[in-house]
Amino acid sequence: VMALARLDVPSLMLYGGSIAPGRWRGKDVTIQDVFEGIGAHAAGDLTDDELTDLENHASPGAGACGGQFTANTMAMAFEVLGISPMGSSMVPAEDGKKGKVAEECGRLVMEVLAEDRRPSRIITKDSLENAIAAGAMSGGSTNLVLHLLAVAHEAGVPLDIEDFDRIAWNTPLLCDLKPGGRYVATDLYRAGGVPLVIRRLQEAGLLHGDALTVTGQTIGEVAGLAEEAEGQDVVRPVSDAIKPTGGFAILRGNLAPEGCVVKLSGHGRMEHRGPARVFECEEDAFAAVMAKSIQPGEVVVIRNEGPVGGPGMREMLHVTAALVGEGLGDSVALLTDGRFSGATHGFMAGHVAPEAPHGGPIAAVRDGDTVVFDVAKRELNVELSAEELAARLRDYEPPAPQYTNGVLGKYARLVGSASEGAVTG
């Protein structure tokens, strides 16, 4: 979609579709359960054979990861953005209707060419705000922030992280989807799919209904065509929201002057105060979790994993899932200049900017420093004076780059801040 926006040629996006859930011990499971099972195994709650059995049942076929993880979040966002045909993205990968959807997209793209229906008419500030609201309402991946900022950059549409916070704060969480909820994408498809989410946005007064879609219809017209399965409880009514606000928030403070994103779906925590446990990379943090050395109340700090430090901003799913699997998900917090998998849940702040190699304050944090999350105030702070922070940063020596040439070396030299979408130009 970044390429479509940059080239501005008549075009659309067709999503390959979600995997069906696996079945294990009488319940639906996804890849999220496998990662959390690794932590449960380390805690002694799963045997070797049980973990292997779970792994063998979690992914029964083709398709993207099954919850409202990054792939399905972005598929929904692009359908609401208008660049994917309405009703196309939640058709599962192995569903018999997927071929018909692909055929219809082939017909539609010829119409789009004939009508000269370009992405610049579709990707606007209003349509981007619609997509943000859908992500917030569905409890979607925090990667939505990075990716929509990058799409907006390519389209030349002004968008910043404060737009995400403003919209999420005013958008109720209505979709009971994994990783924080009960259901997966195939359940959403049966319930009514993305058109039902669009209708809920309209009912909540949150939809810019005049935004154009790739079919030539407005998004408001699409909302009127939504069909809701009788008795479904995947997408709640506006009057019965899971939470009054959306699934993420933007925090700032002396640890994140340029901002960071914290996931709020799947838990009710709004504050955390605890001592830092600092790790220089994901592998070190994961080893500590597996060694059971992380204590309740601590704040796990993982740095040097941002766009430059990674390079490439790896997701911290191994660590976050292992913490949940070990039973620490409700008692610890985590912050990183890296990012998260859409399967991550718990009190986790990512995309902390500036990142450590650029001299961001996260580079100054030491073991035992008190870190404070305060979502109501939209703040992430370390309890150090400005003078102490400045002194530590003066002494800070960033690690040597992992790559100095090749694609990753070039990327690390060119990439910008996560707060602006981690774009390279």
Q: Which of 377, 387, 386, 381 is nearest to 362 (CA)?
A: 381
Phi and psi torsions of 334, nearest 5°: -145, 140
CB 180 within 8 A of CB 187: no
Residue 94: CB atoms within 10 Å: 15
The one-character DSSP state at 292 is T
The one-character DSSP state at 177 is B
Q: Is 88 a catalytic residue?
A: no
Angstrom distance (rounded) from CA 404 to CA 393? 24
The one-character DSSP state at 361 is G
Angstrom distance (rounded) from CA 42 to CA 210? 52
Residue tagged active-site, from 341, 385, 417, 419: 341
Q: Which residues contact 288 (CB under 8 A, 6 or more apart)?
A: 277, 279, 294
Angstrom distance (rounded) from CA 148 to CA 73? 11
User: Do the strands 370-374 and 348-353 form a parallel or antiparallel pair, or are they unpaired?
Assistant: unpaired
Angstrom distance (rounded) from CA 270 to CA 291? 28
CB 404 within 8 A of CB 374: no
Angstrom distance (rounded) from CA 30 to CA 100? 26
Q: Which two tokens stand for residue 324?
A: 């949940």
Q: Active-site residues: which are they?
A: 341
